[in-house]
Structure 1
Amino acid sequence: MTENELSYKIIGAALEVHKNLGVGLLENAYETALFYELKMLGFNVKQQVSLPLKYKEITIENAYKIDLIVEDKVIVEVKSVLELHPIFYSQVLTYLKQTDLRLGLLINFNSELIKYGTHRIVNKLINE
């Protein structure tokens, strides 16, 4: 399954979570519910993936944590904020570059409609 096909399924799962939980909860609630939905769809999903960062001659353990990685192809960063700040987009792009993955989804569950809170961030994505 391509990154684009996966993103369609992930967004569908996020819609299901948003429909059932609504707005106003902490990020962890949405992240855990989305993890559950994706697992129920049969996807290989990793939650709270801690990864090291190589800086010059040293390795910084636990430099960052990725909310979800789906099928080792798509990074999902879950937010529950009033407004998405530009730093959140940069955060996902950094994760993509550090993992050499090509597609990330930034999903803000604190949106009236989930489609307004969902954003694709691309790192060298090829049209498939």
Structure 2
Amino acid sequence: MPPINQITADIIDASIHIHADLGPGLFESAYEELLAAELTRRGLRVQRQLVVPFEYRGTKIEFGFRLDLMIEGRIPVELKCTERPAPIHQRQLLTYLRIMKLPVGLLINFGGDRLIDGVQRIVNGYTGE
């Protein structure tokens, strides 16, 4: 299994290529489908629209939240297509990481002129592999 840093680098690279070729303006679902296809071509295992149940103080929530993409079963990716992402998007992904007990996730906004400005690596106590 590739290291987390390699997986996140591949996700970011694929996202940059898609955005460079197509630019902003498509629906989030289109970028999701394109990114999933590109990552699959690169040999990564991709799950789309993954429903994540969780338990809190004895209460089971069957439909806790839905991830846009889960890569290799360990990197959640949330996609946005807004001019400026809201700070709640970062906190939302951090909450997902805490619930799933995962160290790193990516928030990628395809809505801006330069994709690199819209990539955020969210860390949940991650110190490296």
State the distance in 2 between where 1:57 and 1:119 align.
33
Flag as ranges the 4+ runs of structure 1 deviating above 3 A.
none
Question: What is the identity, as a one-letter code, of the residue corresponding to 1:71?
Answer: E
State the distance in 1 between where 2:29 and 2:95 align.
21
Match of 1:5 in 2: 6
Where 2:88 maps in the other structure, the secondary structure is helix
RMSD, matched Cα: 1.0
TM-score, length basis structure 1: 0.95
Question: What is the identity, as a one-letter code, of the residue corresponding to 1:11?
Answer: I
- Between the two proteins, the alignment pairs up a number of residues equal to 128
TM-score, length basis structure 2: 0.94
Contiguous gaps of at least 5 residues in structure 2: none
Match of 2:59 in 1: 58
Pairwise CA distance, 1:127: 2.2
What are the equivalent positions in structure 2 for 1:1-128 lying under 5 Å apart? 1-128=2-129
State the distance in 1 between where 2:56 and 2:102 align.
19
State the distance in 1 between where 2:75 and 2:53 align.
18
Pairwise CA distance, 1:5: 1.2
